[in-house]
Structure 1
Amino acid sequence: MTKRIFLVIIMMISTLGIFSFKNNATDVKTSFASFYHDKFNGRKTASGEIFSNKELTAANRTLPFGTQVKITNLISGKSVVVRVNDRGPYHSSRAFDLTKAAFSSIGDTRRGTIAIEYEVMD
């Protein structure tokens, strides 16, 4: 009997322990971002939208289409919120391909990539 009570108590503590831990760490990550070439204007994105370098959109390999992401340039501190509507970039060191409008709002397009911090917006 005492073994059974002991096991029930351990199971209750384990179950309650799982629910008591919250992920207090923000989901801010760092990586690099590049921007789309103008040759993609007018082409379809992976989501089916027509691409425009004038919009504030981005490509990411895994985030669902429509996800809003805050991208911050780690050097300048400037930020922009973009909407994921395409897949890519297909370069392992970069997490995002930004439109020229998004990239130029936080960095210099004379540079091919910038170090970024990104956070999925709720």
Structure 2
Amino acid sequence: MTEPASILLSRVNGHGASSGGRNSCLDLTDSNGRRFILHIPHLIEGDFLSRFEAAAMHAADMRGSPSSADVVSAVLAEQTSFVMADDGTLILRTKTRAGVDIDLSFDDATVAELRTLLGSRS
């Protein structure tokens, strides 16, 4: 079995969202000095982060060494809350231990479904 290609990150330059708001974007630089943007669809953002965290912890366990606190703490959630953006968009905001805010924006259809569900509970 051949080893999959890997990207050794040397720097996270910034983060944000794509112009359409459907993806979270990480501006990264690899160990060869190449800069690239990693797009993570909002629909899989939480799954992506939890798998990334689990993979980092598993790799450290297999090496028999402690996992990198920087890697693990970067994705561990400390606080999750709902916020309203200036344009009225409903956002689920998760604050990580590394101090990064991860925002998941909800489209109008999702907000309508949430209102209907909450309305049926009262």
Report the TM range for the smaller structure's normalisation: under 0.3
Structure (1 or 2) with the larger CA radius of gyration: 1
Q: TM-score, normalised by structure 2?
A: 0.26
Q: Select the structure that is richer in helix.
A: 2
Q: Report which structure shows greater RCO (CA 8 Å, sep ≥6).
A: 1
Q: TM-score, normalised by structure 1?
A: 0.26
